[in-house]
Amino acid sequence: MTRRNWRNIDRRTFLKGAALAGGVLIAGGLGYRQYYHHAGRDFQPDRAGAYLDSIQRSEHPEALPNIIIILTDDLGYGDLESPAVDTPNLERMAAAGARLTSFYATASVCSPSRAGLLTGRYPVRTLMTNPLMSTHDAMNLVMDILGRYSYGVTGIPQDEVLLPEVLSRRGYRTGLVGKWHLGGKPGYLPNDRGFDSFYGALWSNDDQPYAIYQDREIAVEAPADQDVLTQNFTHAALDFIRAHREDPFFLYLAHAMPHVPTHASADFRGRSAAGLYGDAVAELDWSVGQILDTLDELGLAGKTLVMFSSDNGPWWQGNPGYARGRKLLTFEGGFRVPFIATWPGVIPPGTSSRAMSMNFDLFPTCLQFAGVPLPQDRIIDGRDIMPVLLGAAESPHETLLYYDTRTLKAIRYQHWKYHARFRTDNAAFWPLAQGPFLFDLDTDPNESYSLIESLPELAARLAGMLEARNAEMAANLRGWLG
């Protein structure tokens, strides 16, 4: 064999060996990633089963109040106060009930906020820290490759206990109308997670293909006509109420608007001085009016708690309440959202409170109405806010946490808010870190004047509190007890 042939054989052997080594490394990397994901998730599904099995069906279902949560998508805190937007039904609702002016979402983006609302826990505990993408969307693969899904989780974990699961065990008829956004695979669908009925979309309305489901089957093929979404969701919600007028029911009406792409029906286009966004908000206000009028018509108003809010602050359009920041930011404009509740004969008309609360408070509040004890095997971050709705001045919370995906960026302690150092919200300098900041939300609700130099001891105390919460979360991410 010539020397040249030996070189050819060596080259071929080298290439084969390199390919084999590369394959081993890739397989090893994927194997380690899979192991890391499963170990870090700390899944304990038996916990949820044990708690749900302990819930007894009510012996007096007629005494249980109906519960309706109306959740809008990307509606700003200030949209209900803007002179450009007319919201007479929400004004009527606030005049008849309670408005909370320091109410927050648990996240400044969709899926995590919804997870917090339905579990009573900070989204970081539920591993829902980023918006989920459709399994048909290329971005879903990109998010997975980049590790943006916490421990690779793409659906609300089955060891989490959801509000509809609890209420269903207690004897409620449960229905979701509108946006789910907590998983799209079998085992993670609305009908798998406590909802008797589902009419709506699995994802955000900017995620294609956008179809409307009736339970597990497609009812409206993609692309669904989004001009009529608010009207269709409203009519489905009214059908649910009428169908279960004799039963205690829990209705979660999760509207798609005014999230982009923003739509409104022909009946509402051009009604608002705030353009198409304002038209969409006006139609949402109409929807609220339809719900309230139907409860009155059926004689159910006096036994129904209705709550209205948004999943986070506004995105490209909308009014964040003249506060700093928007969706995706930990400033007030991203987290602070409108909240109105009405329950004739129970909540005093015209009640208003600045006591701070968060959407995870709705979980323990609803369980208290249903006569169900909270789970004792996990940390529940929410608190019963019924005393606040009845006019109590005190918040059940001394601190609230503001997460950006898995990172704790800010903490509110009483009326003080501390931001750790982070990339600035100023577009011209977005790669640069700024802060830390300290704000007094009583005198500076817009977070315009940092007191970090004026009150260094207080700033250091809040920084220590933030780090202590980080350490606590690192030691027990899922918040399991016992």
Q: Cα separation of 419 and 464, whole Å?
A: 12
Tokens 């109590």, located at residue: 392
Task: Let me know: does 279 contact 272? Beta carbons within 8 Å.
Answer: yes
Distance CA 142, CA 144 (A): 5
Check: pTM over 0.85? Answer yes or no: yes
- Dmax (CA) for the chain in angstroms is 100
The domain limits of the chain are 65-397, 407-475
pLDDT in tens, 453-468: 999 999 999 999 999 9
Q: One fold for both 65-397 and 407-475?
A: no
Tokens (6 digits) for 205: 């309305």
Catalytic residue among 37, 110, 136, 259: 110
* 3-state SS assignment for residue 358: strand
Q: Helix (H, G, I), strand (E, B), or coil: what is residue 109?
A: coil
422, 409 Cβ separation under 8 angstroms: yes
Q: Is 366 a catalytic residue?
A: no
pLDDT, residue 15, reads 57
Backbone φ, ψ for residue 374 (5° rounding): -70, 155
Helix (H, G, I), strand (E, B) or coil at 191: helix
So what's the pLDDT on residue 21?
Answer: 56
pLDDT in tens, 105-158: 999 999 999 999 999 999 999 999 999 988 777 777 777 777 889 899 999 999
Q: Which residue has the tokens 């519960």?
A: 67
Query: Residue 158 in contact with residue 182, Cβ under 8 Å?
Result: no
Query: What pLDDT, on a 0 to 100 scale, did the predictor assign at position 433?
Result: 84
Reading across the β-sheet that carries 351-353, which strands appear in turn?
Answer: 217-220, 212-214, 197-201, 173-179, 249-254, 66-72, 304-310, 339-342, 98-100, 351-353
Q: Measured between alpha carbons, how far is 123 from 149 in angstroms, rounded to an integer?
A: 12
**Domain 407-475 CATH assignment equals 3.40.50.720:** no
The pLDDT, as a whole number, for residue 22 is 54
Q: What is the architecture of the domain spanning 65-397?
A: 3-Layer(aba) Sandwich (3.40)
CA atoms within 13 A on the CB side of 100: 33
* CA–CA gap between residue 35 and residue 257 (Å, rounded): 39
What pLDDT sits at residue 86? 93
How many other C-beta atoms can be found within 10 angstroms of the C-beta atom of residue 149? 20
Cα–Cα–Cα angle for 307, 180, 34, nearest 5°? 130
Full 3-state SS string of 216-275: CEEEECCCCCHHHHHHHHHHHHHHHHHHCCCCCEEEEEECCCCCCCCCCCCCCCCCCCCH
Residue of 181, 244, 259, 263 marked active site: 181
pLDDT < 50 stretches in the chain: 1, 3, 6, 24, 26-30, 32-33, 35-36
Q: Helix 362-370 vs helix 110-119: angle between axes, to the nearest 10 degrees?
A: 30
Residue 181 among the catalytic residues:
yes
Q: Is 449 helix (H, G, I), strand (E, B) or coil?
A: coil
* CB 404, CB 130: distance < 8 Å: no
The Cα-based distances of 207 to 132, 256, 316, 349 in angstroms read 10, 12, 17, 40
Residue 9 host element (H or E) = helix 3-41
